Amino acid sequence: MPELPEVETTLRGIEPWLLGQQIEAVEVRQPKLRWPVAAGVQQLVGQTIRRLSRRAKYILVETDNGTAIWHLGMSGSLRLLADDEPPGKHDHIDWCLANGKILRYHDPRRFGALLWQPAGATENSHLDHLGPEPLSAAFDGAYLYQRSRKKSQAIKQFIMDGKVVVGVGNIYANESLFMAGIRPTTAAGKISKPRYEKLVACIRLVLERAIAQGGTTLKDFVGGDGQPGYFAQELLVYGRAGESCVHCSATLKEIRQGQRATVYCPACQR
């Protein structure tokens, strides 16, 4: 599933081609995605794209009429193609641009979404409940420490909760906790403020490295240029159960937390 680094990579890949461009047509071949494609997206036709941004795993495309909101779901991708490129079986939506390019949404599992927020709307049920961005100043050790008090929830689930902080998906939670030396099963409320400060620094470092490598491709993800992400080559624990720890040579263990794989070093992480 595309997480924050993959979505940020997609945004950076498409932004130079979309910013300031007029949308000449919107073609929806498959409206049945995670939620039905919003009828309001047809208001994009004739509009100029004023701004692109990311909030959590959503890409926001702003025009004078309103904001289109993309979510890539489990297997979705946005790619820029020539306007004569024929659509494939899983190519569900096209935006035809005045520069002769098409922004094409591809999604085999159809679990992504294209939402619409009219200009002037102040509430959004998909975005309003979200926690701070992990690369922002609002996310720091003091914040995590205060949010975690009296929490018996395991630290891995705690930092993957989008109401606490957005964008720390399973792969990046595994890697950050390993780097910080914190065992994933430790109760969030039992972790000290200094350790939270280290964890925040590690989360930022892991995400920044992943963005620099174009995200992590394990199966489906490609960026706006159709290229895979290369951060998978730098993973220290995720996907390496049974192998040796890069720090101490102990055997990495795998458990399941919330139906997701957790890999950790029993010697380095406590």
Render pLDDT for 158-207 as a digit per residue (tens, 0 to 9).
999 999 999 999 999 999 999 999 999 999 999 999 999 999 999 999 99
Name which of 141, 147, 177, 179 is nearest 162 in CA terms: 147
Dist CA 173 CA 237 (whole Å):
10
Taking only the tens place, the pLDDT of each residue in 227-255 is 544 456 678 999 999 999 999 999 999 99
Of the CA atoms within 13 Å of residue 246, those in its CB half-sphere come to 10
Task: Give me the architecture of the 4-118 domain, per CATH.
Answer: Alpha-Beta Barrel (3.20)
In this predicted structure, the answer to whether residue 222 has a pLDDT above a threshold of 70 is no
Q: What is the mean pLDDT of the chain?
A: 92
* Residue 20 identity (one-letter amino acid): G
Residue-wise pLDDT for 25-38, tens only, equals: 999 999 999 999 99
Q: How does residue 220 score in pLDDT terms, banded at 50, 70 and 90?
A: very low
90 marked as binding residue = yes
Domain with CATH 1.10.8.50 in the chain: 141-264
How many whole angstroms separate alpha carbon 155 and alpha carbon 161?
Answer: 10
CB 86 within 8 A of CB 10: no
109 labelled ligand-binding: yes
Q: Which amino acid is at 147?
A: R
Select the CATH number that applies to the domain covering 141-264 from these four: 3.40.50.300, 1.10.3470.10, 1.10.8.50, 3.40.50.2300: 1.10.8.50
Long-range contacts (CB closer than 8 Å, 24 or more residues apart) made by 62-65: 63/23, 64/119, 65/118, 65/119
270 among annotated binding-site residues: no
Cα distance between residue 270 and residue 263, in whole Å: 13
Q: Which two tokens stand for residue 80?
A: 């820029």
Positions annotated as catalytic residues are 2-3, 57, 260
Spatial neighbors of 31 by CB under 8 A, at least 6 apart, are 37
Q: Is 143 in a helix, a strand, or coil?
A: helix
Buried b (16+ CB within 10 A) or exposed e, 81-111: beeeeeeeebbbbbbbbeeebbbbbbbeebe
Residue intervals in the chain for CATH 3.20.190.10: 4-118
Q: What is the pLDDT of residue 3?
A: 83
